[in-house]
């Protein structure tokens, strides 16, 4: 790999990690007036969905992992990092699988990711507290996952189109 391509690669992944980190910070400081624990906008997932369509699976997985660890150390704790890793891993796996089918648009892939993230977090919560009672929140979190996933998918589609259009011009 020549130095120009290496520099582009480093800049691209650095930018994606930085954006995901900033989106996570913004989400942490903006309270959502919904009385259901765990409901978030999923702003950092915008980087994940765009990454899947621009830099591929491996790069997106690396960016997601680095973001979760950085955010966990900066704004959270080990517990929040475990929940984020569980949700992020299931979300990413499901988005990769659904995208490969070709049955869903970028919005659909993002919705599956939003729902998967919530299921991943509830599953790890059930293991930690040793009760399935946490799944009481599942219907509420599924609705939130669909709504947030649709918004993030729509925005992600617009960003992906712009990036791909820009890359064609280069």
* Chain segment 148-162, per-residue pLDDT in tens: 999 999 999 998 888
- How far apart CA 105 and CA 165 sit, in angstroms, is 18
Q: For residue 35, give its domain range.
A: 3-169
Give the confidence band of 4 by pLDDT, cuts at 50, 70, 90: low
Q: 124: exposed, middle or buried (C-beta count within 10 Å: 0-12, 13-18, 19+)?
A: buried
For 83-119, letters b (16+ CB in 10 Å) and e give bbbbbbbbbbebbbebbeeeeeebbbbbbbbbbbbbb
Work out how many domains the chain is built from and give that number.
1
- How far apart CA 14 and CA 8 sit, in angstroms, is 10
Runs of H (alpha helix) within the chain: 3-29, 45-54, 57-75, 78-101, 106-129, 138-169
Q: What is the CATH number of the domain that holds 43?
A: 1.10.1760.20
pLDDT in tens, 64-109: 999 999 988 988 888 888 998 999 999 999 999 999 999 999 999 9
pLDDT at 58 over 80: yes
- How far apart CA 43 and CA 30 sit, in angstroms, is 11
pTM for the model stands at 0.88
pLDDT at 166 over 80: no
């Amino acid at each position: 790999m020549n130095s120009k391509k290496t520099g582009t690669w480093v800049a691209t992944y650095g930018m994606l990690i930085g954006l995901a980190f900033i989106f996570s910070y913004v989400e942490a400081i903006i309270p959502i007036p919904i009385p259901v624990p765990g409901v978030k906008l999923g702003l950092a997932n915008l980087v994940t969905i765009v990454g899947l369509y621009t830099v591929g699976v491996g790069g997106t997985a690396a960016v997601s992992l680095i973001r979760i660890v950085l955010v966990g150390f900066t704004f959270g704790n080990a517990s929040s990092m475990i929940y984020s890793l569980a949700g992020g891993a299931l979300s990413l796996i499901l988005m990769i699988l659904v995208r490969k089918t070709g049955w869903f648009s970028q919005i659909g892939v993002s919705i599956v990711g939003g729902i998967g993230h919530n299921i991943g977090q509830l599953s790890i919560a059930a293991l930690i507290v040793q009760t399935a009672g946490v799944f009481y929140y599942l219907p509420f979190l599924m609705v939130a996952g669909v709504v947030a996933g649709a918004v993030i998918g729509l925005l992600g589609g617009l960003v992906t189109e712009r990036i791909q259009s820009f890359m064609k011009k280069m």
